[in-house]
Structure 1
Amino acid sequence: MNALTRLRPTLISPTYTRLWFGQAVSSVGDAVFSTTLVLWVATVLAEGRSWGPQAVSGVVLATSAAVMFVGPLAGVFVDRWDKRATMLGTEVLRGVLVAALTAVSFVPVEDLPAGVWLALVYATVLALNAASQFFTPARFSVIAELVTDEADRARAAGLAQATGQTAWIIGPPLAAPLLFAVGLQWALLFNALSYLVSYLAIRGADLTPAAAPADSTAPAGPKPPAKAAKAAEAAERPGLFQDFAAGLRFFARSRFLVALLLLTVIGQLGTGALSTLNVFFATRNLHASAELYGYLGMAMGIGGIAGALAAGRVVQWIGARRTTWIGLMASGALLVLYSRQTGFPGGVALLFVFIVPITMLNTAMAPLLLAATPQEFRGRVVAVFYPVTRLAAMLTAVLSGWLAGSGLRDFAGSAAGLRFGPIDTVFAVSGLLIVLAGVYARFALPVADKSPAPEPAAPAEPAEPTLEGRP
């Protein structure tokens, strides 16, 4: 019996397994949805139009805007709401939104102006990602209460990261066949059904928190009523904007945090440009059919898993600081090499290699950020750090789309026997700037971290799958 128990695969607990399954299905649906919209806008709605890159950048813009404007304050409200009800409500909302867009997509494309189609797509993407800003912290809080053992929390963090990466291995290759074989409607319906599966998984899970051990030293006696305790807690809680302003002041006074943020912003140049222009690079520079586009996303997903598996050992071997600046320089050089590719197999291989150091440096930056931030400011520092990096991705997406569609649309040149066009030039310049960011990191980051090691925390849940950093 013991041998059978050891051989039986488990995912921490039955409740966690249900939540994981819902996340896995929903993540695949989001990956299919995101890739489908990029393909549809680029190859159907904007086919042969000079404004195609700008149209695709609008999808990335809508994604980043939701994170930037809703994300910093969503966590405050989630802390005050029922977590299970929040998760269920957001899944219903997201499912209804995608179902509504699915119904509209049965209308022939030529029956509505392109501007109306783009407005519908942008509004849906904005609303979906705004809802995600409430779902993700609610799920994080629930898992933190359900999974209390330190080893199990580490397992949950690894499972969450691997699941998110795997979704981008499975989703993009599914998106292209669904779009071109059966149509946009069925690709969208796939994502709507994934939210239904997630809703059922959450509803069927027992989300009762693990019981806290009793404190034998606590004095016995009657406890204050729950309503009175909540009222007292609310009265003692500082104002929302007062707390947020204090976090901003702390961040601005920390030269190290400002330097780390600057490095991250520059690093967004590559991922932002890829998000907007990679579909055009695949069809024009790599001479691949649109049906093969999803395999570029699959290559990045596999590279992300490889980087995640290797990151811990690399950081332990050479340290977080060296991993950060070496990762920046390596990823920038690889992006320059990718911009020179003219064949699909070489492009797939380089994208796989490119994402490995990107994942490693993201892993390395986390302990640097935590070590530089006192515990009482960590939430607010993240509330500044994450939206600013998303803003950088948003502006990069808009700028790269404008450059490829207008500013450099007719650009053509050659140097040392190499030909340059608008898209590969944007990629090459972005890569060179990332290399320079690595040089800056070499001297700006401290040689040794003298801050105390951060305390063990709950598993960091990955953001909902978006277009940022994806081809």
Structure 2
Amino acid sequence: MSPRLTLINRDYTRLWFGQAVSSVGDAVFNTTLVLWVATVLAKDQSWAPVAVSGIVMASSVAVLGIGPLAGVFVDRWDKRATMLRSEALRGVLVAVLTALTFLPAGALPTGAWLALVYVTVLLLNAAGQFFSPARFAVLADLVTGDADRARAAGIAQATGETAWIIGPPLAAPLLFTAGLQWALLLNGLSYAVSYLAIRSIRATGTPSGAVRPAAAPRERTGVRREFMDGLRFFAGSRFLVALLLLAVIGQFGVGALGTLNIFFATDNLHADARLYGYLGMAMGAGGIAGALAGGRVVQWLGARRATWISLLVSGVLLVAYSRQTGFLGGVALLFVFTVPLTLLNTAMSPLLLAAAPPDYRGRVMAVFYPVTRLASMLSAVLSGWLAGSVLRGMGGSVAGFRFGPVDTIIAVSGLVVLLAGFFAMAALPGTPDDREAAEDVADPPAPHDPTAPLDAPPPPDAPAPIDSPSKTRPLAR
């Protein structure tokens, strides 16, 4: 009998395969949307950067508006069924958008096309807010033990970065040769593959897959009370507040790149729009390198020291990227820039976990992740507005270096990341044992009635505090 490839166990392998295929579809879909909006719908328009930033804003609105409460409802539902319904809904949404793109180009005004894109991205992300916590709960059932869960987290991060090596280079040829419809259809098919993979997973039979039996009025009271306790706990922890502040500052720095990188590639790097996908590919490769090296670097430097060093290095490299004028140099700088950025996410995750007791980790993430996404949304909108209006037409040179609106905003973004690094250096001094991160944590409030519903169990792989920049990912997985 020939050996079969198995990652951790059979069911996890099937879940991983479905998500790997779907991640590639997401990368193609997102890159296609950015290219289509920037080079077709808003071609040569002053408001093109604002139009692209709308994709980020639509995804962030879903995360901010639905994310904090979605986990409460997922807690009451069957997790596997929730994942299946989410994938089916997202597949239908992409299919509807794909069908509409078969209409003649002038059938709808530009504003209507943009509205369709934004609404689709918003609804896809809204469904994703239910899919992600359900997937985390299913993973907790499928993968047990700290060692295997660590492996699962590493596999997930490496798979996501690999998807961004494969997906973006596929998106541009599909868009400009085969047409928009086929690039969108690829993502719709990826949802079908994910759906079938989830269907093939055996039911776990654990409490996490069961519907919560408590009465609705009692649940609403308990959820509200527990959520407010989480907010008070977060605000009372100086260490958590410091982590949130540096993540917000850092997100303001890297967030602009997601909106402006397509314009930087065509204007400053003098590259054809068809080559844009290779910038995402370079960042995916840098993300894999950072993921592979992250554990060893954190073990060597400590999580706190690795955090501020990664921010400082990322800031310097982002400023250096803003001065590039050749495509190959830009690709190389983006690859190098993504390595410390991925190390940063690896370093911050254990700090967050150490700073929050197990009973509060879900609520800590319910505060941390939406706030950082809000910073990302504001950064995307602000950078698009500055490039398309206030700084439009700006040009000049200083000491032989030429400056335009897009490269200036990216350079300032690098300085903002540097600022976050210096703040982290002061707020997170290196210690021999990074478990001391929990020293400044406030004592948790007294527990409530044990019959009150609790939040979802902490996920085996915590979300990254700072998004990878040029990979504007509207699809939450």
Q: Structure 1 residues 396-405 or 61-70, which shifts more?
A: 61-70
Within the alignment, does 1:82 sit opposite 2:69 as a pair?
no
Is it true that 1:147 corresponds to 2:143 in the alignment? yes
Q: Distance in 2 between matches of 1:47 and 1:381?
A: 42
Contact 2:261 2:470 in 1 (8 A): no
SS in 2 for 1:414: strand
Seen in structure 2, the aligned counterparts of structure 1 residues 196 and 259 have a Cα distance that, compared at 3 Å, is same
Identity, % of aligned positions: 71
**1:238-284: CA deviation from partner (whole Å, max 9, x where unpaired):** 52222111111121122221111111111112331111000000000
For residues 437 and 315 of structure 2, the distance between their equivalents in structure 1, rounded to whole angstroms, comes to 29
Q: How far apart, in 2, do the equivalents of 1:356 and 1:314 lie?
A: 11
Unaligned runs of 5+ in 2: 440-456, 473-477
1:376 aligns with 2:359: yes
SS of alignment partner, residue 230 of structure 1: coil
Which residue is equivalent to 1:399? 382
Change (3 A) 1:262 1:321: same
- Asked whether 1:272 is paired with 2:255, we answer yes
Match of 1:219 in 2: none
User: What aligned pairs does 1:336-347 form with structure 2 within 5 A after superposition?
Assistant: 336-347=319-330
The alignment partner of 2:249 has SS state of helix
Asked if the contact 1:153/1:458 (under 8 Å) is kept, the reply is no
**What is the CA-CA distance between 1:235 and the residue it aligns to?**
4.6
Give the C-alpha shift of residue 203 in structure 1: 1.2
Letter of the 1:459 counterpart: P
Conserved 8 A contact 2:74-2:134: yes
How many angstroms apart in 1 are the aligned matches of 2:142 and 2:131? Answer: 16
Cα–Cα, structure 1 residues 462 and 170, in superposed 2: closer, same or farther, change >3 Å?
Answer: farther
Residue 137 of structure 1 corresponds to which residue in structure 2? 133
Q: 1:247 maps to what in 2?
A: 230
Query: Is the Cα contact below 8 Å between 1:325 and 1:439 reproduced in 2?
Result: yes
Q: Which residue of 2 aligns with 1:470?
A: 471
User: Of the candidates 187, 191, 214, which is equivalent to residue 191 of structure 1?
Assistant: 187
Give the structure 1 partner of residue 15 of structure 2.
Answer: 19
Among candidates 155, 176, 193, match of residue 180 of structure 1: 176
TM-score, normalisation: structure 1: 0.91
Structure having the higher Rg: 1
Partner of 1:206: 202
Query: What is residue 73 of structure 1 aligned with on the other side?
Result: 69
Q: Please say if residues 257 and 372 of structure 1, whose CA atoms lie closer than 8 Å, have aligned partners that are also in contact.
A: yes
Match of 2:442 in 1: none
Provide the residue aligned with 1:428 in structure 2.
411
Selected match of 2:369 from 354, 361, 386:
386
> Is 1:56 aligned to residue 39 of structure 2?
no
Residues 188 and 467 from structure 1, CA distance in 2 versus in 1: closer, same or farther, beyond 3 angstroms? farther
Q: Is the 8 A contact 2:356 2:438 kept in 1?
A: no
Native 8 Å contact 1:412 1:420 kept in 2? yes
Whether 1:283 and 2:266 are equivalent positions in the alignment is yes
Question: Matched residue of 2:397: which SS?
Answer: strand
- TM-score, length-scaled by structure 2: 0.89
- 1:99 corresponds in structure 2 to 95
Shift of 1:461: 6.5
Cα separation, 1, equivalents of 2:295 and 2:93: 39
Cα drift, residue 233 of structure 1: 11
The question of whether the paired residues in 1 share the 8 Å contact of 2:290 and 2:338 is answered with: yes
> Shift in Å at residue 236 of structure 1?
7.9
SS of alignment partner, residue 252 of structure 2: helix
**In structure 1, what is the Cα distance between the partners aligned to 2:50 and 2:66?**
24
Give the structure 1 partner of residue 397 of structure 2.
414
Aligned to 1:262: 245
Partner SS state of residue 364, structure 1: helix
Cα distance 1:209–1:468, how it changes in 2: closer, same or farther (>3 A)? farther
Alpha-carbon distance in structure 1 between the residues aligned to 2:206 and 2:357: 28
**Mapping 1:299-310, distance limit 5 Å:** 299-310=282-293
Residue 111 of structure 1, CA deviation: 2.2
Structure 2 vs 1, CA of residues 461 and 255 (structure 1 numbering), >3 Å: closer, same or farther?
closer
With over 3 angstroms needed to count, the CA separation of the structure-2 counterparts of 1:211 and 1:49, relative to structure 1, is closer
Give the match for residue 461 of structure 2: 460
2:156 is matched with 160
Change (3 A) 1:257 1:441: same
- Which of 358, 361, 365 aligns to 2:341? It is 358
- 8 Å CA contact 1:83–1:138 kept in 2: the answer is yes
Q: CA deviation at 1:374?
A: 2.1
Match of 1:327 in 2: 310
2:334 aligned partner, one-letter code: L
Kindly state the Cα deviation for residue 444 of structure 1 after the two structures are TM-superposed: 1.2
Gaps (5+ residues) in structure 1?
213-225
Matched residue SS, 1:106:
coil
Could you tell me which residue of structure 1 aligns to residue 452 of structure 2? none
Which amino acid letter does the alignment assign opposite residue 360 of structure 1? L
Q: Distance in 1 between matches of 2:145 and 2:205?
A: 13
Tell me the CA shift for residue 375 of structure 1. 2.1
Task: Assess if the C-alpha contact under 8 Å between 2:50 and 2:388 holds in 1.
Answer: yes
> In structure 1, what is the Cα distance between the partners aligned to 2:218 and 2:207?
27
The structure-2 alpha-carbon separation of the partners of 1:440 and 1:231, relative to structure 1 and needing over 3 Å to count, comes to closer
Q: Distance in 2 between matches of 1:87 and 1:371?
A: 29
**Aligned amino acid, residue 470 of structure 1:** K
